[in-house]
Structures are given as structure tokens and as C-alpha cells.
Structure 1
Amino acid sequence: MKRYKNITIAAIGAVILMAGCKKYEQFPVDKVTLNYVFDSRDSLGTNAQSFLYSIYGVLQNGHNRVGGDYLDAASDDAMSSASGPSNQVTMLSTGAYNSYTLPAPENLWALFYSGIRKSNEFVTNIDVVPVMAQYNGKSMKYAWKAEARFLRAYFYFELVKRYGGVPLLGDKVFTIKDDVSLPRNSFDDCIKYITSECDAIKGDLLNNPLSSNDSHRITQGAALTLKARALLYAASPLFNGGNIDANNTLTGYTSGSTARWAMASAAAKDVMNLNAYKLLDNFKDVFTTQNNTEIIFMRQNDDGNAVESANAPIGFTAAAANGQTSPSQQLVDAFPMDSGLPITDPAANYNENNPYANRDPRLTYTIFYNGARWLNTDLQIYEGGQSKPNSSLQQTKTGYYMRKFMGASENVASFAKHPEDWLIMRYSDVILMYAEAENEVNGATADVYNALISIRKRAGITAGADNLYGLKAGISKEDMRTVIQNERRVEFAFEESRYWDIRRWKIAETVMNQPIKGITIEKIGSSLTYSIAPVLTDKFVSPKMYLYPIPYDEVLKNPNMKQNPGW
């Protein structure tokens, strides 16, 4: 109960702060309550809109958010260059946490429930504000209300994918006097609530295209995408037939059903049928061009080069960087050749002595490798090279640096300034969600092939004589599943996808119990030799790690709060 008291006090404080800025304030600031934020005399809805935007502020910025690292550095795709026993992302990747010590950037229970509370305050109070501005013939406040309901549903989804079923609060705004010893709702209850909210609000939300001033706001497409994402997780093996506690309704369904995949497929198709989004021609531009046709929902950040300062290769005086993220050899190997064939295919013509030649162009846009162009230099990431001096400076531990999200600084002396928004939903995810779900229902149909081809074509992979962009004709559902999973890996590297994908697919206990590999490059004269070796041993110590533990203090103070299995 103490936490809910703190949330209440914090919310009132925020209200006082916002209301104190109200130009026509007639009452002492210390008497301001929610009644003055949701004011029946405020025809512009100024304070109510500010309150709504404060709920948007709960959204997470994924850039280096886990103790200075990307969350994917806790997967098999990367590791922290600053890794050590107390490094937060390494604690996640090695299972060195419990219900009391889960690293703060992923212990988001209290934060998301604070966002849910603020959403409920907005939903239950906005109706009294006579907002004159209109959208689709109705007061804009109805779009605002739908946005608050979306954010609430989104926060619930973020909780459910981490913990399984969680307490659903409805529209109720709890007070200090209320009993908040609530039990967890079932996983099924939570998925139904999230998807029903998306259905209920889609008609009131803004439609694409958005103006630049509204580019951060929630649209009908975002609601439909959240529904598709929630249904995809619900259909995935971890929850749909692979429940870690077979008869526990909090941790998933007690039996599997292909029908759940069909629901996910239909929901993703609904987004596609809006015809509101399309893939950009250039993969790299997706992350550095604001308000583009592929972005469905994003967290707006400032323009700058903070991503470069944290993650770009070291060794440059005019553009100093910290080289924080070390991509794994496994991730590099996941990128196919530019023919679309995997590097393990004998027909791919992969050359171990020239490993980065003729690869999927997304490799160059995602990862810095030896010889890649950056800051007027062909990078030296060989032993003793400019960007791997083997000194006391923090540097790559794997022979690679992260390139994704950075600006066009290949042929300039300093970092180029660019937007650093965090993309929460983009259209390529919808396409691959559809391909994954449809394959599970009907196998590798033409629709599944076409979805993958659209992604690969945009990536710059060549069509080939059969126009299949490296895909094999007539493959099985199982083989197509492997292809789709790899396509997600390379398309969404460092976007907080892989970390959750290996959990929902229930393969983490396999891939995370293998060491992270790196490459060592020795230069002798003008010749380079390459050797691959383990650099970090990850640990997925138990199936209990598929879900996070409910925070210790939540279980301690609430007798009705059941802990997740094994914790």
C-alpha cells in the first residue's frame, strides 16, 4: 500500500506543478487539485493536454536504457563493452538477479502502474473539459481520451510480456483509503483486456498521415498494431502450449491452440489493409528520418548524436565515442549474403578470408566491422588497430561495434546531427508478424513468401533468377519458421526485439546457454587472419527466467499477489 500512497502524492504534485502554469489561475497553488487540471472552463483543454503528454512521458527510450546499454546486449546478439559482474545488462544475460535485485531499468512494475494510474485519472476526468478543437466532427478530447486508453493498454502489455498476468484496475483511481491488495488477473484476462481496448478506441484515434506537429501521437494504426502484437505474443510457444507452469493461468494458457495464431494473423492483416504505411526504400533512413511512412508509433527524442557518442568506434579525437555495444559473432553470421542465401549455404560463395564482402546491406547499416567506412576512415578493428588498441580504454570485446540508429557520418570528420527518436512500432514488424502467424496457421503460402520478399527487397538483397530473393521454393512450415525467426533477428537488431523473441519462442534456454562469440583479427603485413572464440558465457539458469519475478516488495505487502514459478 505504501507504493500506491507514493504514487498518489506524486500525481498530486505533478498536478500542482502543471496547474501553477495556468494563466487564468484564480486560486492559491497549494489548493490546486485534479479539478483545476480538468477544468470545465478551459475550452482549450491546455492543462488536460499537458497531463496527457505527461503520460506519454512514461514511454521508455530504448537507446542505451539498461544501465548505459541496449537491452539486446542481454541477448545472444551482443554484450556490453563495459561488462562485469555488477553491470546491469550482464546481470540480465547471466541470470544474476532475483525478485529483489532485478536491474532497475527492467524493474518497471511501479513505473508502468504509475502510467496506468495517470491514464485512469485522465479517462475518468476528461469528459468535463469543453475542448472546442475538433477532430472528425467531434471534440478533440475524445481523441485524447482514446490516446490515454491506448497508453494504458500499452503499459499493461509491457507488464504482461515481462510477468504474465497482472492486476487489472479498470478505470478505477485508487485512493489511500482503498484496499489495493488485488490479486493478479489471468494471462488470458489481460490479453482480452488489451485487445478489447484497442478495438474500442480505434475509431476515435487520429488517422495517418500525421502532420509533423502530431507525429508523436497515437493513431488508429498504432492501436491495431498493439492488438496484433499482443495476440502474437499470446499465440507464441511460451504462452500457447509451452506454459512454464502447465496448469497456472497466470503464466499462460493451459492448452495450446492454432486459432490464436489465426487471430494474430488477422490482426496484423488489419494493419496492412489500412494502406496507411509502406516500407522506405532505404533501410537506414527509417531511423534517421522523422515522420516517415514506416513509423507507426515512436517516442520522440531530440536531434543530436548521443547514440554515436555512446556506441561508435573508439579511436577518433575529433569525434570521441565510448564503444559501449559489442555485437556478437552470432548476430553477424545471421546476416545472409546479398543473394539472400545464408552464409552456411554452399551456393552462397561466402569467403571466410573476406567475411564481410557481398553481404546483406543491412549488415553495413547495423554493425561496424573491420574495414567499414566511418569518419573518413576505413575502420581498423584488428588487434592493435585504431579502434581496437588493446589499451585500458573501453573498446569492443567482440571485434565489432554497433552501427544502427546513427547518422550519415561515413565521409565527414565529426558526427552528423540527426533525429534520435525511439521507434516503438514500425511497419516491417507488422509484415513479419503477419508472416510468422500466417505460416503457423497455413504453412509457407504465397502470402508468407510475399511478406518476406518485401522485407528482403527493401533491404537490398538481389532478386535472383527465380525472384525469390534467396528464399527456397516450397519449403516446410518448420523451415519457414526458421527463416522468419532469422529475418526478425537481422531486421530488428538492437530494437528490443531479439531479447523478447527468444523468450516468446521459448528458445532462450538453448541460445542463451551458449557463449557469446567474437572475432579476433590479426594483421601481418597487408594480410588479415580471422579467428572466432567465446568471449562471454551467458546463462539461462532455469525456465523460470522466461518471466520476471514479481518485485519482492509487491509480494511482501500484498497477500493476494502470487509470485511467478521458481522465484
Structure 2
Amino acid sequence: MKLIYNISLLGLLILTGFSACRKGLLDPQPSDRVSENIFWNTENDALLATNALYTDLDSVNVFTWDALTDIAHTNQNFDTQAFIELGSYDISNAKIYNEWSGAYKGIRAANYFLENIDKVNTANTALINRFKGEAKVLRAYQYIKLAGFFGDVPLVTKTLSIAEAKLITRTPVGEIWDFVDKELSDASALLPATYGAADKGRITSGAAWALKSRADLWAGRYQLAVDAASKVTGYTLYTSYQNLFKYVAENNPEVILNKEFLKDTYRNGIFALLAPYSQKNSQSYYVPAKPLVDAYETAAGKSISDAASGFDPYHPYDNRDPRLRFSVFVDGDVLPSGTVFKPAPTSGSADAVGSTYIASTTGYNIKKYINTEDYANPANSGINIILLRYAEVLLTKAEAKIELNQLDAEVYTAINTVRNSRADVKLPSIPAGLSQDQLRQIVRHERTVELAFEGLHLFDIRRWKTAETVMTGPVYGITYPDASNKLVTVQVVSFNRVFNKSRDYLWPVPQKETDQNSNLKQNPNW
């Protein structure tokens, strides 16, 4: 059973900052919120308040992050996000402000919750502690993201008045990581390892440890990342990568944290956002780019640039890593409508590059989460969005051990499990005896192709310090034979990425924030 988050009266209560005045119970009450006088009394109040916190988790916006990397592209050049790709954005950019404000909205809700939960009249302390654990993890989740985007950010652990908010300063990012470490360690002791069917989707102790391993990897605290990843138990890779992002696999044993949705009740529009234009005028808003497609190995485990790989540029999608066709719509794929995807500019199809400004400008479309069940009503998808899964934990553990130069069997087992343990992904195991640098490149490759379009690659190329190399120059797409059978590679028109390595590894503090609070010092070179 899906966990459906209550976003009615309680949602309004949290989103408005609980602004109801304290009045006598006989005084008229506003109809759009719940008064503090009559809330925080019962276990059900506590449950509803906890459920509302989950609404601040990320969902379809994770795709926007990958579209700011080498593996994808914001399809419409005039979108405010595209300015970040172009390097022509500034501190007033709406995308950056929305990520900042959205994260702090979630933090404020969690702070308020933790300040009030003990008011609930119950002897069931285990239940209340569990709710506290969920809130702590959800708050830490937001801080992990903020640190990855901005570096130093204000560490706020209580609700603030407007006057107090105008005086806060940025906390050094090391202290943010310290807070996250403690928060998640504390939360893990309050949370169960599993839930019953009625509570599927709630945060477990494993989710706390998995998030801690992510945070420690991003912070460069490699031994802590290994230790945390080792405590993530009870999860396993789902048997089918092809079905991993389909309805049939929701809440499968690989999923550690996701944002839950339900058609008609609490829906998302992921199909309309990402599917090819021919699918009821879907938007192709974020599209894959050539570097990602080229990164998938052949079925024999060789790079397509290897002369011995057998790669045929006239049949570029044959005999490739199966994850390519499971993640990306490529020429010849059958679409949810039953028609065939034909993106070449010469194809004459609705999806042909250049046929409309909405069709994919690279000739590729994202396939993850695009389900036939949503074709009838593309804006009414109920598919859950996975935010953390066990494959990431395995690769985190492998990468952290590689950086520690602990090149033992655990490293090989973790990587090979991701490469060949699924029934539909059977790539050859990596050979033994590789050097630290060889293994480093392999695990980075595996993260890129395994976790594509799951919102992690932007943070990866920042911490690897590769963005300055991969985020420059034109954006390329499909290679196709023209009328004379000559191979031509699509290039996105009038688009040239720029990355300033002295500035762009961190986003700026949004102007709306610095205008209100001069204590928020700006990141370098902004």
C-alpha cells in the first residue's frame, strides 16, 4: 500500500508556518489551517504531522540536476535553467533560488515538528521517537543537498522569527557535514529496519545509514562512508533493471528512499515532462546527451572507442550494455503509444530533431519512469520517484574504499554486483589486480551509467572536479546516416556550454536572500 502524504489541513498548517493565533476554543477559527490550540494532542496528529514532512522531498526536479551536467541537456534554450549550462546566469537565477528556498522550507517544517512533537499526549514513546527519527532524516536530507549546491549554508535547527532570520550567517560546510553525521546516526537508533505493508515508503534505519554514506562520500570522509554503507542491510538489487522504474517494481527491495505518488490523489507529471513529443505533445523538457549514450559499453564490456569492441556506428545501439535501452529512448524503440521512435532529422516524424522546438534537440529522450500506463493521461502519473537505492550504496562503498586505497575483494564484489547480478544486465566482471586509478575510473563510469537521470551526477562531477572539463563546448546528440549514407552527428543549435572553474563549482547565495540579510556572505567570484 502506498503511503499517501496528507496535504490538506495539516499540509497548510506546515506550509504557512503555523501562523494561527492562540485564541479561546470558542473563538472563530480560520478555515484554511489548523489552530495550535487543538493540534498536537493525539497520536493521529503526530502521524499526520510526520506525513506532511514527506511532501518536501524532491521528486521530478531531480531530472533538472542531471540536465546541468554533461549527460543531459535542458531542451529549450530560453529556459532559465539553460542559462546555468551556458554559464550566463547570476545570483538572481530563479532555479537557484527555488532550490535554496525549497530546501529551507523542508528544514523549517522539520524544525517546527521537532519542537512540538513532545506535546502529544501518549505513552507510546517508541512511536514518537520513530516520528522524530523520520523528521531528523528528512531534515538531514535537505542539508546534504544544500551543502552540495552551495557549500557553506546557514545551519538552522529551530524555527526563526523574521527578525532572527535576517541575522543568520553561513555555517562552514564542514560543520554542516558534522551535523548531518550526528543527525543521521541519532536517527538510525530511533527507526525500524522495516515496516508493515500499510507504512511502505517510510524512512527506515537503513535509509538513515544510506544517506549518511552519501553525505560522507560527498564530504570526502571516505572511511565514514564505508562504515555507514556497511550498516545498510536488508536491501538487495531488484532482479530487473528494465522494470526498476515501472509500476510493477514500486517499493521493491532495492528502494531505500523514494517520493510516493498516487494517480488522481497525489500525482506527478513526469510522463508529460520527459516523454517524446509524439506522445500526446509531451515536452521532452530534459533530454539525454551524446556523452552518456557513448559511455555505455558494448555487451562484451568494452568501450565503443576500443577498436576491438565491434561497435558499428551504423547500428550504434546493437550489442550494448542493456542499461542504455532501459534508460534512453533510441532510434527504433517502441513508444508507449505503440509507434516507433524515429528522431533523425530526415525521418519526417513528430520526434524528428528540428521538427518543433519541443522535440528533443539531441534525438534522445529519457526512458526511465516513462510508463505505458500513463499514456492516456500524461499529467496524471502515480509512479514513485526513487531518491536513493541500494545500487548507489554499493557504488558509494566501492568508491570510498578506492579513495582510501583499500583495493580489496569488497570493491570488486560491489562493482560486479551492479554490473552483472540482474537477470537483464549481465556485463562481464571487471578483472582483478587493477590499480587505484583504474578502479577509480571504473567506479565513476558505473555511477554515471547506472544512476543516470537520478539526480546524482551534478554532485559527482563537482566533487570529482571534472565539471571544468566536461561542461564546456557544444551539446551533441544522435549520429545518423544522411541521404548519401554519410554519418552526421546532431549538434544543438546556438548552444555552447561555459564553466568557470573559479566560480561554478558552487552556486551563489540567491540575491533574494542577500538582499534581506547582508550577513549572508557570497561565494567566491559571484
Give the TM-score normalised by the residue count of structure 2. 0.87
Cα distance change on mapping 1:471 and 1:38 into 2, 3 Å? same
- Residue aligning to 2:321: 360
**Corresponding position of 1:505:** 464
**2:105 and 2:419 mapped to 1: Cα distance?**
40
Question: What is the aligned partner in structure 2 of residue 116 from structure 1?
Answer: 107
For 1:90, the equivalent position in structure 2 comes to: 82
Q: What displacement does 1:53 show?
A: 2.4
* Counterpart position of 2:296: 335
**Aligned residue in 1 for 2:224:** 263
SS, match of residue 51 in structure 2? helix
Aligned partner (choices 400, 403, 426) of residue 437 of structure 1: 400
CA contact (8 A) 1:174 1:180 kept: no
CA 483–106 in structure 1, closer or farther in 2 if over 3 Å, else same: farther
What pairs with 1:367-516 in structure 2 (closer than 5 Å)? 367-374=328-335, 375-385=337-347, 386=349, 387-388=351-352, 390-392=354-356, 394-407=358-371, 419-458=382-421, 460-462=424-426, 469-516=428-475
1:79 Cα deviation from its structure 2 partner: 1.5
User: Is the Cα contact below 8 Å between 1:227 and 1:267 reproduced in 2?
Assistant: yes
Q: For residues 359 and 416 of structure 1, what CA distance do their matches in structure 2 show?
A: 32
Match 2:239 to one of 258, 267, 281? 281
Counterpart contact for 2:274–2:284, Cα < 8 Å: yes
Aligned length: 501
In the other structure, the counterpart of 2:507 is 548
Of 519, 524, 532 in structure 1, the residue corresponding to residue 489 of structure 2 is 532
Residue 546 of structure 1 aligns to a residue whose secondary structure is coil
Kindly indicate whether the alpha-carbon contact (under 8 Å) linking 1:376 and 1:413 is maintained by their aligned counterparts in 2. no
Query: Is 1:231–2:216 an aligned residue pair?
Result: yes
The AA in structure 1 aligned to 2:473 is: Q
Which residue of the partner structure matches residue 292 of structure 1?
Answer: 252
In structure 2, how many angstroms separate the alpha carbons of the residues matched to 1:141 and 1:26?
A: 30
Superposed counterparts of 1:56-95, under 5 Å: 56-61=54-59, 63=60, 65=61, 70-84=64-78, 87-95=79-87
| CA-CA distance at 1:370 after TM superposition | 1.1
Query: How far is 1:388 from its partner?
Result: 0.6
Kept in 1, the 8 Å contact 2:222–2:404? The answer is yes
Cα distance in 1, alignment partners of residues 275 and 156 from structure 2: 43
CA contact (8 A) 2:508 2:523 kept: yes
Residue 12 of structure 1 contacts residue 34 of structure 1 at CA under 8 Å; is this kept in 2? no
- % of aligned pairs identical? 31
**What is the match of residue 130 of structure 1?**
121
Q: Quick one: which amino acid aligns to residue 291 of structure 2?
A: Q
The verdict on how the C-alpha distance between 1:533 and 1:408 changes in structure 2, with shifts beyond 3 A counting, is closer
Partner in structure 1 of residue 140 of structure 2: 153
Which position in structure 2 is the counterpart of 1:218? 203
Once the two structures are superposed, what CA deviation does each residue of 1:415-468 show, in whole Å capped at 9, x if it has no partner?
A: 8997421111111110000010011112542211111110011454446xxxxx
Instruction: Compute the displacement of 1:192 (Å).
Output: 0.7
1:91-128 deviations in Å (ceiling 9; x for gaps): 121122222x2233653323322322221221121112
Where in structure 1 are there 5+ consecutive unaligned residues? 1-8, 236-259, 464-468
Deviation at 1:17, TM superposition (A): 8.4
Unaligned runs of 5+ in 2: 1-11
The structural deviation recorded for 1:408 is: 5.0
Please tell me whether the aligned partners of residues 271 and 381 of structure 2 are also in contact (alpha carbons under 8 angstroms). no
Aligned mates of 1:106, 1:556 — CA distance in 2: 13
C-alpha distance in 1 between matches for 2:352 and 2:491: 17
Cα distance in structure 2, aligned partners of 1:438 and 1:388: 45
Counterparts of 1:415 and 1:403 in 2: how far apart (Å)?
14
8 Å contact kept, 2:229–2:396: yes
Task: Output one character per residue of 1:348-368: Cα deviation in whole Å (capped at 9) or x when no partner.
Answer: 211112111000111111111
Please give the residue correspondences for 1:187-206 in structure 2 after superposition, counting only pairs within 5 Å.
187-206=173-192
Q: Secondary structure at the match of 1:487?
A: helix
Cα 1:559–1:225 change in 2 (3 A) is: same
The structural deviation recorded for 1:13 is: 4.3
* Distance change (3 Å), C-alpha of 1:306 and 1:125: closer
**Cα offset for 1:28?**
3.1
Corresponding letter in the other structure for 1:369: V
Query: How far off its partner does 1:484 sit?
Result: 0.9
What's 2:29 paired with?
A: 29
Secondary structure in 2 matching 1:423? strand
8 Å CA contact retained: 1:443, 1:476:
no
> What is the RMSD computed on CA atoms of the aligned residues?
3.0
Distance 1:117 1:262 in 2: 31
Q: 1:551 to 1:378 in 2, by over 3 A?
A: closer
Alignment of 1:142-181 (within 5 A): 142-170=129-157, 172-176=158-162, 178=164, 180-181=166-167
Distance 1:366 1:528, change over 3 A: farther
Counterpart secondary structure, 2:361: coil
TM-score by length of 1: 0.81
How far residue 19 of structure 1 moved from its aligned partner, in angstroms, is 12
Cα–Cα, structure 1 residues 207 and 346, in superposed 2: closer, same or farther, change >3 Å? same
AA of the residue aligned to 1:54: A
Indicate the larger mover: 548-557 or 429-438: 548-557
Aligned match for 1:302, one of 262, 286, 302 = 262
CA shift at 1:514, angstroms?
3.3
CA 1:394–1:175: 2 relative to 1, 3 Å: closer
